[in-house]
Amino acid sequence: MLSGKLGNLPERELIVLARPTKWRKIENIPAIPYFVPSETEAAEVPENILKLEELEAVRLKDLEGLEQGECAERMEVSRPTFQRILLSAREKIADSLINGKTIHVEGGTFTRNICPVKCRSCGKEWTESFESLAPIGNGDYACPSCGSKEVSCGKNCKGKFCRRNCCWFGGNNE
């Protein structure tokens, strides 16, 4: 870690903050979250936690046979990010198969849809996961900039997902 002195100020460490993790879009949530080796008791077996976005990457690439670029587009991440997610998933799956570990599918930074949102008071535009927008129906969702509850779907919110699931049925309320 870097450190130094500035005049009479005490020595401080340089803190590097990582960028926040972007949402990874997934289309499939598995009905069965555990896979346990058949010859052992589940309580005694070490486990690997496979994140939902890792399972989605394996599903798109290995089960559906899509090219990496198309997989990345469907998950709304960059190609290098998709590659890192896929490699992490494959490593955990291989470790579980070879070393007889349980696979527990849970967690991650995922959403079923990434929704553009706009504040009608201050004009701020941002993206949120669909699941984060659930409080809108109760009037409990506010703009992170100005605190106004006058928020609506952004311009590009007219896909099948929004027509079927959006709190503002039909997407764009502007």
Percent of the chain with pLDDT over 70: 73
Highest mean pLDDT among 84-98, 117-131, 148-162: 84-98
**Domain annotation covers residue 153:** yes
Are 76 and 98 in a shared domain? yes
CATH code of 153's domain: 2.20.28
DSSP state of 40: S
Which tens digits make up the pLDDT trace of 48-100?
Answer: 999 999 999 999 999 999 999 999 999 999 999 999 999 999 999 999 999 99
**Domain annotation covers residue 90:** yes
**Domain annotation covers residue 118:** yes
State the pLDDT at residue 111. 82
Which tens digits make up the pLDDT trace of 107-119?
Answer: 898 887 777 778 8
**Domain annotation covers residue 96:** yes
Full domain range(s) for residue 96: 24-110
- Answer for the pair 104, 49: CB distance below 8 angstroms, yes or no: yes
pTM given for the model: 0.66
Are 66 and 36 in a shared domain? yes
- Region for residue 67 given its phi and psi (left: phi exceeds 0; alpha: psi -120 to 50; beta: otherwise): beta
**Domain annotation covers residue 41:** yes
- Answer for the pair 154, 116: CB distance below 8 angstroms, yes or no: yes
Are 89 and 136 in a shared domain? no
Judge whether residue 168 has pLDDT over 60.
no
State the pLDDT at residue 37. 87
Structure tokens at 141: 């969702």
Residue with tokens 């870690």: 1
Are 105 and 124 in a shared domain? no
The closest alpha carbon to 120, from 155, 149, 80, 159, belongs to: 149
Q: For the chain, what is the mean pLDDT?
A: 80
How many distinct structural domains can be found in the chain? 2
Judge whether residue 157 has pLDDT over 80.
no
State the pLDDT at residue 112. 79
Instruction: Convert 79-102 to b/e letters by CB count within 10 Å (16 or more is b).
Output: eebbbebbeebeebbeebeeeebb
State the pLDDT at residue 137. 58
